[in-house]
Amino acid sequence: MSEKLLEVEHLQQYFPVSGGLFKKNYVKAVDDVSFYINKGETFGLVGESGCGKTTTGRTILRLYEPTGGKIIYDGVDVTHVPFAPYRRKMQIVFQDPYASLDARMTVGDIIGEPIDIHGLAANKKERDERILSLLERVGLNSEHANRYPHEFSGGQRQRVGIARALAVQPEFIVCDEPISALDVSIQAQVVNMFEDLQQELGLTYLFIAHDLAIVKHISNRIGVMYLGKMVELADSDMLYEHPIHPYTQSLLSAIPIPDPHTSRTKKRIVLEGDVPSPLNPPSGCRFRTRCPYATEQCAVEVPEFKEYEAGHFAACHRIGEI
């Protein structure tokens, strides 16, 4: 049994929105989500926009203060403790490499800033050496240090973002859609780099994306979210071959496969309608309004997130029947 690095228990993130004079409404962005990530593993989190996957990632890093639940990092409950020491251990790479780098700082300073904040270099020489080795590690070189972000392409900027995250020698990195803004031919470069870094530095990733093919490629285990809830969680091959939740099934069948023979013969489950508003989610199972198998029970009772076979969790009343 491998060691758990991060555990999330019943995590809850409600954002208040005003709903009238005496009423307070909440967007239940993340509602009762539990999972764990083993050391050295990549845990993928997928779902459509608004499902709460990014919020989950950010709440784990306490970029939002969780409104409920527990975050346990390396055996310590870090939900409410001062977080500064953990910032060194937990880092994030953002989706948009155009917005996440300060346009007025040189790349060297962008990477150097976390080194300065955490006091990781004794003097300027050591700092510069560190920046240089980080740049090389992500496939850039020393002359890039004095340039500004606008001089770089999207893929290179994302490399800078990764170098910045690595600057504090973290153990755990939240990768929040790190490749979805990149061109197809560049995506594979960055994905390979993530894998190399993981091997060399023993990193643990929480990899958030909506592209299931990429997530399946890079992850050991995958969690599928829908409207703030985790609906299924399993080993990545198992999830793909044998999805048991109707939402996962339709999500997988909806992906256009770059293989004409497969896409011609494939039977597709096309879901009706849109994702409901998280402000006023459906009662019971949140997927029931779009689920082809929904019964009356689904409208009344919230399905429990249970283990159906070893390591394969799902939340659905009708598993086994469908």
Partner 1 sequence: MSANCLLDIENLQVSFFTPAGEVKAVSGVSYTLNHGEVLGIVGESGSGKSVSAYTLMGLIANPGKIVGGTVDFNGHQVHKMTEKEFRKMRGSEVSIIFQDPMTSLNPVFTIGSQLMEMLRLHTNKNKEERKARAIELLRLVGMNEPEKRLKQYPHEFSGGMRQRVMIAMALACEPKLLIADEPTTALDVTIQAQILELMVELKKKINMSIIMITHDLGVVSDVCDRIAVMYAGKIVEIGSTDDIFYNPKHCYTEGLLRSIPKLHEKGHERLVPIEGVPVDLLSPPAGCPFAPRCDKCMKICLRQMPEYTEISPGHKSACWQLQKEQFENAEGGNKE
Residue 213 interacting with partner 1 (CB under 8 A): yes
What residue type is assigned to position 170 of the chain? P
Residue 99 interacting with partner 1 (CB under 8 A): no
CB of 242 to partner 1, least distance (A): 12
Cα 208 to Cα 92, 200, 289: the distances in Å are 11, 21, 25
CB-wise, 32 or 235, nearer to partner 1? 235
- Binds partner 1 (CB under 8 A): choice among 153, 199, 283, 297: 153
User: Angle at Cα 29 formed by Cα 70 and Cα 158, nearest 5°?
Assistant: 90
The interface region with partner 1, picked from 24-32, 66-74, 107-115, 189-197 by CB under 8 A, is 189-197
Euclidean distance between CA atoms 52 and 115, whole angstroms: 31
CB-wise, 83 or 98, nearer to partner 1? 98
CB of 295 to partner 1, least distance (A): 21
Tell me the two tokens of residue 166: 């690595």
Burial class (CB in 10 A: 0-12, 13-18, 19+), 52: buried
Residue 161 interacting with partner 1 (CB under 8 A): no
- Binds partner 1 (CB under 8 A): choice among 10, 24, 268, 306: 268
- Binds partner 1 (CB under 8 A): choice among 17, 188, 299, 300: 188
Measure CA 95 to chain center.
Answer: 10
Helices of type H across 268-310: 296-300
- Binds partner 1 (CB under 8 A): choice among 192, 199, 283, 297: 192
Measure CA 141 to chain center.
Answer: 29
Euclidean distance between CA atoms 225 and 64, whole angstroms: 19
Tell me the two tokens of residue 265: 């013969």
The interface region with partner 1, picked from 68-76, 143-151, 182-190, 303-311 by CB under 8 A, is 182-190
Where does this chain bind partner 1 (CB under 8 A)? 48-49, 153, 155-156, 183-189, 191-192, 195, 210, 212-214, 216-217, 237, 240-241, 250-260, 262-263, 268, 270-271, 274-275
